[in-house]
Amino acid sequence: MRISEVIGITGAKLLNNPHINSIERLCFSANKSRRGDLFIAQNTKDIKEAIKKGIFAVLFEGDCEIIDDEIAWLRVDSLQSACGFFVRYLLIDYAIKVVAANSIQAEIAQVLFPPQQILFAQKSKIAFLEQLTLLFEIERKEHGLNNLFEFADETRSLDLLNADGKKLPYVFASETFLKEIEIDPLLILDIDYAPLKLYVSSFFSMKVIYEHKFYDIPFPASLFEDFKVMIRLAKSLHIPINLNNINPLPSVKFYSFKDNGYVVEGRKGIKTLIVIQGNEELFNNMALYLESDAKWANKFYLLPKNLEGIPFRNKVFYTSLKDIIEKVKKTSCHFVLLYVEDARILATMNKKIQELQQKQTKRLFDMHLC
């Protein structure tokens, strides 16, 4: 790809008159950069190392000293936005089909659809561009092509990725993400999804009837409508699904308080702690369900301070893992809905649960966790 094309895609400003005029690949880590790369510099301190590895150009935001005039120095106002435009270019160039999905639907798709058929656009456009780049480089190496932007004679990237019966993956992204990169989502056929019916449900799981068979689905009942949308999508796009032994959503964990004070993973006890990790939309969904369908229950919502705008009564804010433990210990509510952004908090709680189950000598919230 010529430097002029990079400028056209990203809106970058060329700060010098380099000796080179093209790049071969994108690179996101200085220690993995190679000759011919365009280095996406998330930290300008890494540029010097990338230059030693032989990069042909660097894309960065902010101010940076030009230390090698032979390579192209490309400055943008926003690295995230520039990478978003590169995402747009690759999605169009590789004819990738894009599906608009909210964060709940995307999480359901992760456990419902075959992993090789879907990609999930993260909030970070830089991270998603890196994911796309890695996928396409693997595909091109299988065809003997080392240049991300190189095409075999009389072929396009669509033909390359479809070789040997392989199918292009679908990209799942939020409407906001797609609007920011100016991509229109795939229009899903209006399929009647009547074959899926809700038979029995609870706050923790549901039993459904799909194509005249019963299935136990380990998703909260509040997610049934989003689940229906994903079933409809699978039928429309002919994505194979298997409703037997579906895994629970990765961002949801249930813990129960027993009569003796022990806390165990699961949902059978006198008090239930529900932990939502990193999915604010899912947290709001489950909180709304508790407010409307569990009016009899005492509950409170435990949140980090940056989520003060969550519109629910009985919300309490925490500052640390120790603070979470103290607040949960003191409550007599039936349900505690806890939102954590850092996966390490959930990992620590799971580790202590496992220790508790092995030792059975201490109660979780009497243990020193911090």
199: phi then psi, degrees, rounded to nearest 5: -100, -55
**pLDDT class of 138 with cuts at 50, 70, 90:** low
**pLDDT class of 160 with cuts at 50, 70, 90:** very low
Q: How far apart are CA 357 and CA 349, in angstroms?
A: 12
Say if residues 210 and 231 touch (Cβ distance below 8 Å).
yes
**pLDDT class of 169 with cuts at 50, 70, 90:** confident
Query: Given its phi and psi angles, is residue 211 left (phi above 0), alpha (psi -120 to 50 degrees) or beta?
Result: left
Smallest CA-to-CA distance from 242 within 121, 99, 115 is with 115
Residue 126 has what DSSP assignment?
H
Cα dihedral 193/195/199/202 (nearest 10): -40
Distance set, CA 370 to CA 92, 260, 263 (Å)? 48, 24, 18
Name the token pair of 133.
């780049």
State pLDDT tens for residues 241-264. Answer: 899 989 999 888 888 766 545 555
Q: How far apart are CA 225 and CA 105, in angstroms?
A: 9
Higher pLDDT, 9 or 166: 9
**pLDDT class of 365 with cuts at 50, 70, 90:** low
Look over the chain and give the mean of its residue pLDDT values, rounded to a whole number.
Answer: 82
Q: How far apart are CA 297 and CA 309, in angstroms?
A: 23
252-359: CATH topology = Rossmann fold (3.40.50)
Radius of gyration of the chain (CA): 25
Distance set, CA 180 to CA 52, 87, 110 (Å)? 35, 11, 23
Smallest CA-to-CA distance from 58 within 313, 48, 99 is with 48
pLDDT of residue 154: 37
Q: How far apart are CA 50 and CA 41, in angstroms?
A: 9
Per-domain residue ranges of the chain: 3-77, 84-180, 190-223+231-247, 252-359
Say if residues 16 and 72 touch (Cβ distance below 8 Å).
yes
Looking at the whole model, is its pTM more than 0.85? no
**pLDDT class of 350 with cuts at 50, 70, 90:** low
3-77: CATH topology = 3.40.1390
State pLDDT tens for residues 4-20. Answer: 999 999 999 999 999 88
**pLDDT class of 56 with cuts at 50, 70, 90:** very high
State pLDDT tens for residues 65-93. Answer: 999 999 999 999 999 999 999 999 988 88
Cα dihedral 305/101/161/83 (nearest 10): -40
Name the token pair of 199.
């038979």
Q: How far apart are CA 352 and CA 349, in angstroms?
A: 5
Q: How far apart are CA 221 and CA 332, in angstroms?
A: 24
